[in-house]
Every structure is written in C-alpha cells, then in structure tokens.
C-alpha cells in the first residue's frame, strides 16, 4: 500500500461551501466488470454514499427494487444506474453510461461499461477518457479470464491507475487469505501491463464495506478505502514530463480583416507570447503573438486549455494543422502502423479505404496491410485476414495526404484516431498509433509473431508508457529515425543562430545521439511505481 499512499495529496483545508465547485479537481474513471461482479451495485453505492441520489430518486428506487430488484426486500443499488428501457428488461447494461458524483475535494465522472466480450468496444470507449480504472473481481470467483481481458483493454488505452476492487467479501467470510491470494494472482496476471499503481481494496459493495466507511468486518485491512482513494489519488504526474507544445488547430477565427486567430485545445505543453513555433505538416516557422481568450489575453496557457492563438506574421494555417514548439521532433507522415479496435458490425474490408480523423485532421486512409490480430484473452498476436466487431489488430495505414501523428504512448492527442466508413458514415474503428511511420518489414517470423505481443517490460516509466509495445529493437530503430527530422531542424536553427555550420552539426548530432541517454537518465530518477504489495498494509 505504501506506493499508493505515497502518491496521496496532502489533505487540503475544506473550502467554504459556496466555493467548492471552483476548487475541486476532476477524476474520470471507468468501472470494469460483469453484472455478476456487482459493478452496478458498486456504482449505485458510490452515488448513494456520496449523497448524489436525491430523495425522489430513492423513492423510485424503492419501488423499482420491489419490481425489478434481485433482492426484493432490500434497495437494489444497481437499479440506480440502469439506463434504457430495453436494457432494464434484459437486466444488463449494453452501452457506455456516464455517472456523476462529487465530494468536497473532487468531482467524478464514471464511465459505466459492460464487461462481456461482445462489448469490448464500449469498454474501450469508456477507457479512452479515463484517468483510473476500477477492475472488479468477485471474491468467490477470483481472477478470471475476463479480468485479464478488462485489464488488457484498459492498459491498451493508456490508463495507468487501477483499483482492484475485490467485491463480495461477505461471501468468503471476509477471509484475508482469500483476498491476498486474489491480489497475488492479479499481480501475476497483469505484471506486463505497465500500470503505474495498482491499489487493491476488499469490498462488500452491497452493504457499503470499505466504500465510504471503513469496514469493521475486515479489521485486518489497513489500506485506503475506495472513496478516500478516489478523492486523493494523483493521476497527472506525467504532465510535466511532456513539455513539447502541441496544438491541433480546430477552427480559424477570422471575424474581420484585422484578426486572424487559430482556435484549439492545447494537447500538451504550454504556450506563451513570443514562443517560436512550427506549423505542421507544412513546416512553416512562426512566432506566437497573442494567446487570446474571452477573459483576456494570457501570459501562459497550458495543456487542456481551449484558447485562440495569433501569430506575429500571417501564415497559411487551417483546421487540421498542428502548431508545435519550434524544433519539436514531430513531423508529418503518409502512413502509420497502428493498433485498431474494430467497432462496426461490418468487418474490416481487405485493403479497405476509410476516412481517418486524427486530432482535428481528416484524410483518406487505406489499409495497406493487416499485420495480425491480437487475441484479447492472452493479448498475444494471432494470424488474421480481417477484423470483425470487437477484434483488435495491428495494421499499416496509408494516407492520401500528410498527417501529423505521434505514437499514442507519447501523445494521446496525436496518436488516437477513428476510422469512418465513407458510405455509412459509421465510426468503424478506434485506433492508436504505434509508430508514426509504417514500420519496415523485419524478419517476418520475428516481427509477425512478436509485434504487439505483451513483452515483460523493464520497470521504467518511459517503458511502462508503452504497454503492449512491439519489439524493443524495432522501437529503438523507429525512435532513431524519428529523431532525424528534429535534429535536422535543430541543425538549421543552430546554423542560423551561430552562423557556424560545424558547431550546428555538432549540436544536431548530439541531439540525435544523446536524447535517449537523457530519457534513460530521467527514467532512472523516477523509478517504477508498480511495486505495490497487495494486502500487506
């Protein structure tokens, strides 16, 4: 538990009641589990315990519990979170439903998704915006194949924080040994998935044990209780480690001849007036003159803020372009190797042609090659000629024009995309860039089998970020190739500044060669946090 506790915020003074909303932070979380694990009960209980359920809804719950509930004489908290009428009758949830509750310290958005294999796409959608995942386990059943599947999907979408909610402890007589066994089994099952922190908590969601109040039926447990943990867990530690400014241009704001601004949301890093930037894919240089908002110009804007930038001199910038820090090692590409999760009933067509939406850019994308599918139980590669709904695979995509892309592990904003069927307009796949250029074919057997496989990763945050990565060797080569444009830009800039081509060359070569060493040095300074030992607190 020490690792989890070490990341806690220091307790904050309770703000005055009318300013709570202005102070609170936001945590987005995802709950994974099947109906039988008590997932809806857990969410209903969180809403109930945080007083998010008004009296009139409680009265309705009392009526519904008698009518639909699985326990006629008790409030069935699961009914608080059931949605559409058809689903209510079937007794299962079949979509992503969003729930909201708040405490003094935080507001929470819960993506409630079904756990069955045929709803993998729904879970992935819920995970795409989540900071943390609650993986539910039924204590009477222990770690199941679905547990590993859920964890793999969550990990693939880049969620780094997991709460292992071991539910139904009442049915195993609150036995600590059973709880410990489950925690150990889970650690073994997900050791390769690169979660930053796994926090196990024994629960009885139905009765509220260890949700908002500490259970006196499990006095052996000394770790955090669920609501406290959700309120205090720090999930944004990685924010400062990616300082490169990335700004996908969303809309050109041109009300009159005197103003031309580029509106968008800062995907990473920060920006200030005077910053030198490059506009991709064109590669023009520019200087930021103003950071405009309706509340006045800003001296500095940072990741997550929606702003409007103006440039010192007129540039040809349009929606889909990306404004980045000058010299950033980002470039435009005509193709990527990416992981796809197929979401449509119509399977992926061979050499299919789709629209790709990546950041704010849209282009035509064709499937140059499906490398392989990934078995979602073991997360191992398997041969495939197509992808059906809920299948995951690794494919090479070619674009009809250059797009600014980055590996998903480095940039969610420039590494995530959707594919759209041009005929039906359906969103047919969600994708995560593995490599911002189509990977060259290496030895077919080696690359074909291991690409995308789960490789036990060295315990370094940099590596942990790429959960289901390909061969380390291939990655290293790709990284080398990707550093070259950055180094070239640096060469030109250094040459312009120093007017000394030799010095500029030295700087550029040093940049290309030494950046990995700098990254490794940084990784050594921040050791792996996945050292949490379940059940020992």
Strands 270-271 and 301-302: antiparallel
Distances (CA, A) of 509 to 331, 487, 498, 503, 515: 18, 7, 16, 10, 10
Q: Binding residue for another protein (CB under 8 A) from 346, 353, 366, 426?
A: 426
Which of these segments, 179-187, 188-196, 393-401, 409-417, binds another protein (CB under 8 A)?
Answer: 409-417
Separation of first and last alpha carbons in the chain? 6
CA distance 67 to 72: 8
495: Cβ contacts below 8 Å, ≥ 6 apart: 501, 504
Q: Which is nearer to another protein, 81 or 197 (CB)?
A: 81
User: At CA 383, angle to CA 381 and CA 388, rounded to 5?
Assistant: 95
Which of these segments, 17-25, 224-232, 446-454, 491-499, binds another protein (CB under 8 A)?
Answer: 17-25
Q: Which is nearer to another protein, 215 or 325 (CB)?
A: 325
Peptide bond into 208 cis (omega under 30): no
Q: Which is nearer to another protein, 124 or 183 (CB)?
A: 124
Q: Binding residue for another protein (CB under 8 A) from 23, 175, 184, 528?
A: 23
Count of residues near another protein by CB under 8 A: 74
Q: Binding residue for another protein (CB under 8 A) from 222, 282, 283, 304?
A: 304
Can you state the percent helix, strand and coil of the chain, rounding each to 5?
30, 30, 40
Compute CA 260 distance to the chain's CA centroid, rounded to the nearest angstrom: 33
Question: Which of 423, 320, 419 is CA-nearest to residue 370?
Answer: 419
The residue written with tokens 């694990």 in the block is 37
Q: Binding residue for another protein (CB under 8 A) from 36, 188, 240, 441?
A: 240
124 is a site residue for another protein (CB under 8 A) = yes
Q: What is the DSSP letter of 319?
A: T
217 is a site residue for another protein (CB under 8 A) = no
CA distance 408 to 216: 44
2 is a site residue for another protein (CB under 8 A) = no
In angstroms, what is the minimal distance from the CB of 275 to another protein? Answer: 16
In angstroms, what is the minimal distance from the CB of 374 to another protein? Answer: 17
447: exposed, middle or buried (Cβ count in 10 Å: 0-12, 13-18, 19+):
buried
375: Cβ contacts below 8 Å, ≥ 6 apart: 381, 382
Q: What is the DSSP string of 392-429?
A: EEEEEEEEEEEEE---TTT-HHHHEEEEE-TTT--EEE
526 is a site residue for another protein (CB under 8 A) = no
Within positions 55 to 74, which residues make up the interface with another protein, using CB under 8 A? 55-57
537 is a site residue for another protein (CB under 8 A) = no
Within positions 76 to 105, which residues make up the interface with another protein, using CB under 8 A? 81-86, 88, 95-100, 102
Q: What is the DSSP string of 352-400?
A: -EEEEEETTEEEEEEEEEEEEEEETTTTEEE--S---TT-EEEEEEEEE
Within positions 254 to 283, which residues make up the interface with another protein, using CB under 8 A? 254-255, 259, 261, 263-265, 270
Q: Binding residue for another protein (CB under 8 A) from 10, 11, 18, 502?
A: 18
Q: Which is nearer to another protein, 63 or 71 (CB)?
A: 63
Q: Which is nearer to another protein, 259 or 480 (CB)?
A: 259
Q: Binding residue for another protein (CB under 8 A) from 165, 373, 416, 487?
A: 416
In angstroms, what is the minimal distance from the CB of 522 to another protein? Answer: 17
11 is a site residue for another protein (CB under 8 A) = no
Q: Binding residue for another protein (CB under 8 A) from 172, 291, 374, 420?
A: 420
427 is a site residue for another protein (CB under 8 A) = yes
367 is a site residue for another protein (CB under 8 A) = no
353 is a site residue for another protein (CB under 8 A) = no
Q: Which long-range contacts (CB under 8 A, 24 or more apart) does 351-354 make?
A: 353/422, 354/419, 354/420, 354/421, 354/422, 354/428, 354/429
In angstroms, what is the minimal distance from the CB of 301 to another protein? Answer: 10
Neighbours of 11 (CB within 10 A): 8
Neighbours of 402 (CB within 10 A): 17
242 is a site residue for another protein (CB under 8 A) = no
Within positions 37 to 56, which residues make up the interface with another protein, using CB under 8 A? 54-56
Q: Which is nearer to another protein, 125 or 435 (CB)?
A: 125
The residue written with tokens 């943990």 in the block is 229
Within positions 284 to 303, which residues make up the interface with another protein, using CB under 8 A? 292-295, 302
Which of these segments, 24-32, 162-170, 480-488, 520-528, binds another protein (CB under 8 A)?
Answer: 24-32
14 is a site residue for another protein (CB under 8 A) = no
125 is a site residue for another protein (CB under 8 A) = yes
Q: Which is nearer to another protein, 302 or 398 (CB)?
A: 302
Within positions 313 to 352, which residues make up the interface with another protein, using CB under 8 A? 319, 343
């Amino acid at each position: 538990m020490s690792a989890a506790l070490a990341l806690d915020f220091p307790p904050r003074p309770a703000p005055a009641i009318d300013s709570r909303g202005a102070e609170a932070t936001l945590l987005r979380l995802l709950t994974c589990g099947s109906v039988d694990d008590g997932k809806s009960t857990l969410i209903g209980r969180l809403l109930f315990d945080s007083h998010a359920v008004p009296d009139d809804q409680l009265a309705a719950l009392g009526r519904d519990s008698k009518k639909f509930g699985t326990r006629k004489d008790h409030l069935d908290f699961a009914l608080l979170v059931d949605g559409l009428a058809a689903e209510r009758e079937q007794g299962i949830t079949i979509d992503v439903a969003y729930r909201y509750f708040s405490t003094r310290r935080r507001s929470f958005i819960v993506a409630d998704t079904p756990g069955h294999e045929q709803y993998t796409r729904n879970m992935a959608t819920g995970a795409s915006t989540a900071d943390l995942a609650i993986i539910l386990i039924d204590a009477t059943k222990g770690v199941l194949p679905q547990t590993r599947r859920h964890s793999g999907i969550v990990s693939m979408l880049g969620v780094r924080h997991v709460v292992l909610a071991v539910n139904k402890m009442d049915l195993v007589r609150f036995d600590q040994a059973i709880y410990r066994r489950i925690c150990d089994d889970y650690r073994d099952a997900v050791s390769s998935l690169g979660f930053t922190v796994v926090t196990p908590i024994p629960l009885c969601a139905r009765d509220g044990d260890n949700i908002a109040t500490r259970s006196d039926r499990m006095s052996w447990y000394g770790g955090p209780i669920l609501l406290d943990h959700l309120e205090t867990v720090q999930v944004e530690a990685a924010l400062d480690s990616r300082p490169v400014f990335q700004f996908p241009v969303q809309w050109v704001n041109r009300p009159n001849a005197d103003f031309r601004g580029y509106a968008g949301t800062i995907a990473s890093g920060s920006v200030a007036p005077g910053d030198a930037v490059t506009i991709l894919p064109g590669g023009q240089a520019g200087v930021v003159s103003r950071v405009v908002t309706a509340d006045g110009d800003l001296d500095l804007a940072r990741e997550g803020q929606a702003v409007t930038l103006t440039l010192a001199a007129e540039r040809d910038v349009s929606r889909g372009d990306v404004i980045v820090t000058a010299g950033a090692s980002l470039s435009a590409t005509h193709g990527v190797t990416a992981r796809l999760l197929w979401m449509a009933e119509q399977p992926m067509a061979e050499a299919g042609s789709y629209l790709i939406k990546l950041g704010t850019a849209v282009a035509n994308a064709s499937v140059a090659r499906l490398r392989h599918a990934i078995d979602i139980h073991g997360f191992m590669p398997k041969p495939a000629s197509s992808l059906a709904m809920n299948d995951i695979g690794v494919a090479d995509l070619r674009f009809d024009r250059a797009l600014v892309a980055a590996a998903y592990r480095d940039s969610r904003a420039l590494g995530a995309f959707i594919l759209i069927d041009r005929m039906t307009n359906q969103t047919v796949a969600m994708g995560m860039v593995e490599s911002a250029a189509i990977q060259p074919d290496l030895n077919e057997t080696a690359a074909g089998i291991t690409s995308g496989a789960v490789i036990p990763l060295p315990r370094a945050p940099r590596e942990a970020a790429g959960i289901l990565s390909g061969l380390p060797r291939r990655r290293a080569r790709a990284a080398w190739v990707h550093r070259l444009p950055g180094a070239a830009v640096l060469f030109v800039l250094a040459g312009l500044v120093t007017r000394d081509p030799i010095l500029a060359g030295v700087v550029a070569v040093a940049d290309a060669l030494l950046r990995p060493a700098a990254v490794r040095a940084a990784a050594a300074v921040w050791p792996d946090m996945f050292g949490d030992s379940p059940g020992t607190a």
